[in-house]
Structure 1
Amino acid sequence: MIEVKTEKETERIETILDKDLNRVNEDLAIMEKHSADLDAVEEEIQESMVKRDREYKDSCLHSIPKPIKHIR
Structure 2
Amino acid sequence: MAERNTPVENEKKEPGLDKNLERLDAELEIMERHSPELDSMEEEEREALKKRDREYKDEHLHSVPRPRKHVR
The size of the alignment, in residue pairs, is 54
Q: Which residue of 2 aligns with 1:50?
A: 50
Identical-pair percentage: 52
Greater relative CO, 1 or 2 (CA 8 Å, sep 6+): 1
Distance apart, 1:49 and its partner CA: 0.5
Q: Which residue of 1 aligns with 2:30?
A: 30
Specify every segment of 5 or more residues in structure 2 that has no aligned partner in the other structure, as ranges. 1-10, 65-72
Specify every segment of 5 or more residues in structure 1 that has no aligned partner in the other structure, as ranges. 1-8, 66-72
Give CA-to-partner distance per residue, 1:14-45, whole Å, 9 cap, x none: x4000000000000000000000000000000
Q: Which residue of 1 aligns with 2:8?
A: none
TM normalised by structure 1 equals 0.68
Larger fraction in helix: 1
Q: Which residue of 1 aligns with 2:60?
A: 60
TM normalised by structure 2 equals 0.68
